[in-house]
Amino acid sequence: MRPLLAVLLALALTALLIVAAGKNPLLAYAALGRGALGSWDRVGVGLNKATPYVLTGVGVALCFRARVINIGAEGQIALGGLAATWIALTFPQAPPVVLPLLALAAGALTGAGWAALAAAIRLHRGVHEVLVTLLLNFVGVLIVSEALQGSLGEPGAGFPQSPLLPRASWLPRVLKGSDLHAGIVIAVIVVVLAHVLLWRMPFGFRLRVLGASTPAAVYAGISPPRALLGVMSLAGALAGLAGAVEVLGVHYRLIDGFSHGFGFNAVAIALLGALNPITVLPAGLFFGFLETGALAMQRAVGVPTPLVAVIQGLTMIFILSAMGLSARRSKV
Amino acid sequence: MDVAAELLAAALRIATPLLFAALGGILSERAGVFAVGLEGMMLAGAFAGVIGTHTLGHSGLGLLASAAGGALLAAVVAIATVRCGADQMVTGLAVNILALGLTSYLLRGLFGRGEAPIVRVTPLTPMPIPALGDIPVVGPLLFRQPGLTYVGLALVVVMVAALQRTRAGLTLRAVGENPTAAFASGANPIRVRVLAVLGAGVLAGVGGAVLSLQQVGTFTDGMTNGRGYLALAAIIVGRWSPGGALVGCLLFGATDALQLRIQGLRLPFSSYVIQMLPYVVSLTVLAGLGRSARLPAAIGIPFFREPR
């Protein structure tokens, strides 16, 4: 209920911004809705957009459950995409089903490794994870740029990107007449698994106890460092997987800056999804459709697309404020 | 020697926007509120500075606008974190997203009919100090900088004095260490924190204006590009003291200046590796400090008056 109210409040406030730009907000939102859901093709594009959001959002939500503020999804996505590209370009003769699976696994593994590095710096050197993951984002994105400048780049492309990946590595399409690829299926499976992990497994229980109270967790024999390393690596794996899915399902090549903005979106989606894997799914879909719809809105009504970031930022602020206020009430 | 002096002068120039933001961040964090929103406040200031200068026709008014822009975003942080007790880190991220969206949207919506326009303003020029600017080596380094750089350096001294030697500074630090005790001795922690966050917004906003008005002369989408986060790292490197933060900012400025210079040389790797320098250096320094960096005790913990 609370996330819905936050979204409505954010939409109402941004309507004022649309008015300020001299446009009609009702027409703009109508164009946005049509652009997002107007045809199967549009729905497919929106679901593709939402797929990496759901994957990374689930990971961030699990981290936040244990009060680990991991905002490193962007770097983890970038490196996951890089690893998947490298596999696809290095083993083009691998059988069609094996190659994408191998590339996805490599993406997840690389993302997990990058997140584990952040966790290690956090644990051994005591630097707050927000700063570590933030700074590593910049490094991760630059590693991708460097790779595209060097051995992985397409010579003479005029833009930093890899050559087209072999067709055998592409994720299959799952809806006739649209670009929808198998990534959404992976995302739904991940959501279900994460739900079971969080609510039915010992590891999920540990995360929840840790989030409620560190002393209580330690008293119960839970090791906070081990939980932090575990949940960060898991979130990193999901982000890396998301990067691989973007490369293998949408672009069919590695493109410089393809991960831009994904990391912060993941945080917004985790919050909108109330830090619950099952509800992260609709939250991710909402942001995915919001983005595809915004492009249509800009074309049809002339309202610029950065409005989406305004909606995201406001939604986050409203949810965070409401969370703060209710924590205060429960304490009194 | 000339090369080194020029490098240092460039380091100081690059460090200035960071310095303003870091000083603002110190105000906020010493009062007990994490300053993750510095990035967004800088961006808001950079935007408001350019738009203000462009529409009001005077860079002084533009500077005021940048302070107001940063403060406006800071007000959102203050209401959410201090009034409502929202998580300070994530709220900071949220206002950064908000600032990125809002500035890009307003740039297009108000000035560009949907396209991103280029709003040009004349960059603020260096103000050499007569006589002092002619001293060899030190002169060009310290005394031929743009006006706001002097202001930033002066602010370091002012803030050290204010934090250590004035009643207001003492109250601010007390609120950051133990708001309940500060409250018991007659201070109003909520008001102190709100004012500190607003002060951070003003300073970070001016820091953004240094970038847009003094260095670039226009506003582009997301032009702060992580500088707010580097300022945050500089605060920790400098252990929450204005002088220390200055050293941290100069360190990052020097890395960046060096990075720009070795890009011209022929090296076996591309410029991207060198671009990683500021981030790797700040990570290394932070990791080197390790746990010796002690946070203000009550940072991140919301303060509410207990209902009686």
Chain A: nearest CA to B8, how far in angstroms? 24
Q: Does A138 touch chain B (CB under 8 A)?
A: yes
A19 touches chain B (CB under 8 A): no
Burial environment of residue B149 by CB neighbours within 10 A (0 to 12, 13 to 18, 19 or more): buried
Q: What is the pLDDT of residue B95?
A: 96
Residues in contact with A135: Cβ distance below 8 Å, sequence separation at least 6, in sequence order: B229, B233, B279, B282, B283
pLDDT band, residue A131 (cuts 50/70/90): confident
Distance in Å, alpha carbon of B267 to nearest chain A alpha carbon: 13
B297 burial level (CB within 10 Å; 0-12, 13-18, 19+): exposed
CA distance A54 to A62: 12
pLDDT at A183 > cutoff 60: yes
At a CB cut-off of 8 Å and minimum separation 6, what does A77 contact?
A52, A56, A111, A239, A240, A242, A243, A246, A259, A262, A263
CA angle A291, B102, B45 (to 5 degrees): 150
Whether chain A has a CB inside 8 Å of the CB on B301: the answer is: no
Q: Domain B2-124+144-292: which CATH class?
A: mainly alpha
Asked whether A245 and A88 are in contact (CB, 8 A), the reply is: no
Q: What is the mean pLDDT of residues B192-212?
A: 96
The pLDDT assigned to B205 comes to: 97
Chain A hits for B36, Cβ within 8 Å: 130
Is the minimum CB–CB distance between A323 and chain B shorter than 8 Å? yes
B308 pLDDT band (50/70/90 cuts)? very low
The verdict on pTM exceeding 0.95 is no
- Cα distance between residue B49 and residue B69, in whole Å: 8
List pLDDT tens digits, range A276-322: 999 999 999 999 999 999 999 999 998 899 999 999 999 999 999 99
Question: What are the b/e assignments for A44-76, b being 16+ CB within 10 Å?
Answer: bbbbbbbbbbbbbbbbbbbbbbbebbbbbbbbb
User: For A23, which residue in chain B has the nearest alpha carbon?
Assistant: B109
Q: Per mean pLDDT, which range of A20-34, A241-255, B122-136 is the poorest?
A: B122-136
Per-residue DSSP letter, B79: I
Distance between CA atoms of residues B152 and B231, nearest Å: 14
Nearest-neighbour CA in chain A from B100: distance (Å):
7
pLDDT in tens, B79-125: 999 999 999 989 999 999 999 999 999 998 877 765 667 777 777 77
Domain ranges for chain B: 2-124+144-292
Segment A12-24 shows an average pLDDT of 91
ipTM reported for the complex, 2 dp: 0.91
Q: Chain B: nearest CA to A141, how far in angstroms?
A: 9
pLDDT tens across B253-305, in order?
A: 988 888 777 766 767 667 788 888 888 988 888 888 766 667 788 888 888 87
Distance separating alpha carbons of residues B111 and B120, to the nearest angstrom: 12
Give the whole-angstrom CA distance, residue A161 versus residue A144: 10
Q: Which of A75-89, B14-28, B213-227 has the lowest mean pLDDT?
A: B213-227
Domain limits, chain A: 47-325
Q: Could you please state the CATH topology (level 3) that the domain comprising A47-325 is classified under.
A: ABC transporter involved in vitamin B12 uptake, BtuC (1.10.3470)
CB contact under 8 A, A138 and B96: no
Nearest to B101 among A150, A309, A320 (CB): A309
